[in-house]
Structure 1
């Protein structure tokens, strides 16, 4: 089996984030404390003391707990998928969506474990996997480590980081088994619109492909309305969505994520694999996430994070506009990340790694070099070896 590559962005963060004065490389909405969470949960019918006792139940015996996640948490997660936009039209070849209930949810130790379990379960040596790109390195390095051949389905910057479904069609082989999406996309901040998702579903149905969609930044769509649908909303059974409490919900510290799928067979297989790793998640983490995703809390939490994203986007607009053309970007429409291209006064693209190291050393600001951490030697159509 091929050796797994170093996880470049995680290595970069581990090496530098504790030395930064201002960490702009963090990809989660600003973290909240349990006290903050209690304040988001307060209602006239549910006072602060009641919420606090739910978060930390000192009398609960600390066993493994519910192996797949508590009923309360899985129900709250399922509710995040249960109300697709009524304007969505299902094409004739697609069945109506399967209602997502708690039985369609498997709770995991972070979104990163959810992705790993899905990839480990559905990919075998010799398979061909197509991965939307650029994206989080896990989504292509793990399939490679499992003995699969990976093709990168490259988004096009000149078209606002759109993807070409005809190009995807041309990448499909007889051995293709899985298409991996990241929607909204890390690091571009772009998202796949409904029409593109429907075309992907149609192609997957034709070739009997499984679709894994990393949706950890859903529903943080700060620059578009209405909120585009999850891949689970389009009536294709062989779909998997992964999510997390880290990115959009500001609770990276509780290390809790999930797999959601209309196919209970896929979830059963993933649960069987997880028996060899963490078995279950912490009951404490499960309880905190249950409160955060409860109807009385999640609306307030997401509104806070949407306000932060919109405010920070305005700051970035001012920064880019004030750089006299030396900084370029495709303005993100979702999530918390964006790609910026820096040029020198001779209009040459900068060595991004050296630039990021210098910014950290001289002013204490941590940012991420895209070609180093996301690029595989390529990003924006520029070959790093040619610089």
Structure 2
């Protein structure tokens, strides 16, 4: 196995420890404490999530019944047939979920199609495992929504998995229901597995839940050869508990991953499982999501105003979901050197974001990824400093 450097994570590890940094590279909705979580609970009779009397054994190997049951209910909300807890596997974060799914399903001789740009893990791990990977390139002129018609030219006889990311990191684009249906229609006669990284779901802030094209989870559609990953880190503000999951309607897929999981994860922490179960309970979930969706709406409007005021310098496709935006910066009509730009900005202003060409591929020279669902005060200060920087050095 030859493992390429994970550029996003290495950039974050290098710069997020800078003293006084204003981190608008972070992709989690602004984090909360256990006290914050308890204060969001709408039922005063519900006990807090941590019981100090609990004996700290390994706990439930695949995740507690309570947590898996609550996740199954979430994915059953708009489904023709409900999921059960047996369709769910709990993992230590979505990064482990993604790896375990790919490790179990993909190997030498397989072909994988993956949307691009996206989180590097989703296409780098299949390559590491010996699979051939074709990139399904997202286009700015299509608002970064994948074109299913392009799959005819990408698919091969040995195509095993098609990988999507919805909402997308880094663009914040949302794949609408009609495209998801077309994708399952394409995969079904070919028996191709569709793997959807849904770690930013259900943080939708630019599309109405009553819209006909509001995106369902892939797990709620009728095509069984699907698998999705999710996490408490992004939309639920609880990265510190390291809880992720996989969901699939296909028991063959679930058991294959569970077998692979035995080599990497005995169980997740009982404490983490308990906090996640509490956060996803009916008395907490709605207020937690309301907080984060409103934060996203407030902040994306602030960022939109900044981009509009600096239209001479930058452009974007406004995100409709998730926590990230992908912004193209140009100077004198040419894309900036985004790596040098990001380094110079952090050195001169302490404002941190990510370079597109370094973290998402050479096609994205001049792009930077901004994580905008931080505390509003952090984003406001960061944009004020960025304004001062571009007025002095970019005009």
CA distance in structure 2 between the aligned counterparts of 1:363 and 1:45, rounded to whole angstroms: 47
Per the TM alignment, residue 264 of structure 1 is displaced from its structure 2 partner at its CA by: 2.0
Structure 1 position 325, deviation (Å): 2.1
In structure 1, list runs of 5 or more residues that go unmatched: 86-96, 383-387
Q: Aligned match of 1:184 in 158, 167, 180?
A: 167
Please report how far the alpha carbon of residue 380 of structure 1 lies from its aligned counterpart in structure 2 after TM superposition.
Answer: 7.6
CA distance 1:189–1:254, shift in 2 (3 Å): same
State TM-score, norm by structure 1.
0.91
Question: 1:53-88 CA deviation, whole Å, 9 max, x = no partner?
Answer: xx2211111111000000001111112111117xxx
Match of 2:64 in 1: 70
Mapping for residues 111-122 of structure 1, pairs under 5 Å: 111-122=94-105
Alpha-carbon contact 1:240-1:260 (below 8 Å) kept: yes
Which portions of structure 1, spanning 4 or more consecutive aligned residues, are displaced by more than 2 angstroms?
A: 379-382
Change (3 A) 1:107 1:101: same
- 1:174-193 per-position Cα deviation (integer Å, ceiling 9, x unaligned): 11110001011000000111
1:138 positional shift: 0.2
* Residue 233 of structure 1: how far off its partner (Å): 1.9
Q: 1:366 aligns with which of 352, 364, 370?
A: 352
Equivalent residue of 1:4, what SS?
A: coil
Q: Which residue of 2 aligns with 1:378?
A: 363
Deviation of 1:321 (Å):
1.2
Does residue 335 of structure 1 match 2:334? no
- Secondary structure of 2:63 counterpart: coil
| Unaligned runs of at least 5 residues, structure 2 | 368-395
Contact 1:108 1:258 in 2 (8 A): yes
Kindly indicate whether residue 58 of structure 2 is the aligned counterpart of residue 59 of structure 1. Answer: no
Structure 2 residue corresponding to 1:348, chosen from 331, 334, 353: 334
2:335–2:365: 8 Å Cα contact kept in structure 1? Answer: no
Distance (whole Å) between structure 1 residues aligned to residue 352 and residue 157 of structure 2? 44
Structure 2 CA distance, aligned partners of 1:280 and 1:131? 29
CA distance in 1 between counterparts of 2:137 and 2:22 reads 31
Deviations 1:82-122 (A, max 9, x none): 1117xxxxxxxxxxx44211111000000111111110111
Cα offsets for 1:236-270 (capped at 9, x unmatched): 11100100000000000000000001012211111
Report the count of equivalent residues: 362
> How many Å apart are 1:381 and its aligned residue?
11
CA contact (8 A) 1:183 1:217 kept: yes
Q: Is the 2:356–2:366 Cα contact (8 Å) retained in structure 1?
A: no
Does the CA contact (< 8 Å) of 1:121 and 1:273 recur in 2? yes
Farther-moved stretch of structure 1 (181-190 vs 321-330):
321-330
Q: What is the TM-score normalised by the length of structure 2?
A: 0.89
Name the CA distance, whole Å, in 1 between partners of 2:223 and 2:285. 28
Residue 142 in structure 1 maps to residue 142 in structure 2: no
CA distance in 1 between counterparts of 2:232 and 2:284 reads 13
Corresponding residue for residue 307 of structure 1: 294
Contact 2:328–2:366 at 8 Å: present in 1 too?
Answer: no
| 1:39–1:73 Cα change, 3 Å | same
Distance (Å, rounded) in 2 between the aligned partners of 1:238 and 1:306:
30
Question: What is the aligned-residue RMSD (CA, Å)?
Answer: 1.4
Per mean C-alpha deviation after superposition, the further-off stretch among 73-82 and 178-187 is 73-82
Alpha-carbon distance in structure 2 between the residues aligned to 1:263 and 1:115: 17
Distance 1:175 1:32 in 2: 45
Q: 1:215 to 1:245 in 2, by over 3 A?
A: same
Instruction: Provide the residue aligned with 1:153 in structure 2.
Output: 136
Q: Provide the C-alpha distance between the structure 1 equivalents of 2:152 and 2:295, rounded to a whole number of angstroms.
A: 38
- What is the rounded CA distance, in whole Å, between the counterparts of 1:70 and 1:307 in structure 2? 30
Q: Is the 8 A contact 1:178 1:211 kept in 2?
A: yes
Q: Secondary structure at the match of 1:338?
A: strand
Structure 2: distance between partners of 1:380 and 1:182: 21
